[in-house]
Amino acid sequence: MNQQQLVERARQVKENAYSPYSNFRVGAALLMKDGTVINGVNVENVSFGATNCAERTAIYTAIAQGYKKGDFEAVAVSGDTVDFLPPCSICRQVLVEFGDPDFKVLMTNGEAEIKEVTLDELVPFAFTELEM
């Protein structure tokens, strides 16, 4: 699966978002190293703090399906924004938990233009397991 196909999947799955409170739909397409693509959408709640972002929905689904740290290749994120949509900081921390430093993050905008960065570039000075 190439960059454009992964982004197209994120754009399609965005339609499944449950976002009645923000009216902001987000779709994520998570590519595993074995070629499997896992969908994620934001799922909101009337108790706003219970909301789950699209990226975390996809990552948690991958874990539930049996994938492990190191199995993650890339994620494409899509929302109808003018600027490239970056993962929020909570999602970044979850990405760092499971993704390698060279894991690819494909940020897109409403025009499906792509900005690709590595996880290491997205989250410099990441909080990971500390040597003590």
Q: Is 49 annotated as a binding residue?
A: no
Residue pointed to by tokens 């000075």: 125
* Interface stretch with ligand THU, choices 60-68, 86-94, 103-111, 118-126 (CB under 6 A): 86-94
Return the percent helix, strand and coil in the chain, to nearest 5.
30, 25, 45
Among this protein's residues, is 97 annotated catalytic? no
Per CB under 6 A, 78 contacts ligand THU: no
Q: Applying CB under 6 A, what is the total number of residues that bind ligand THU?
A: 13
Residue 43 DSSP label: B
Q: Of 55, 111, 113, 131, which one is the catalytic site residue?
A: 55
CB of 57 to ligand THU, least distance (A): 8
Q: In whole angstroms, give the CA distance from residue 122 to residue 8.
A: 22
Q: In whole angstroms, give the CA distance from residue 119 to residue 99.
A: 7
Contact mark string toward ligand THU, 12..41, x via CB under 6 A: -------x--x-x-x---------------
Helix 54-64 and helix 89-98, axial crossing angle in degrees, nearest 10:
30
Residue 92 contacts residue 98 (beta carbons within 8 Å): no
> Applying CB under 6 A, which residues contact ligand THU?
19, 22, 24, 26, 42, 44, 51, 53-55, 87-88, 91
Please enumerate, by residue number, every residue annotated as part of a binding site for Zn(2+).
53, 88, 91
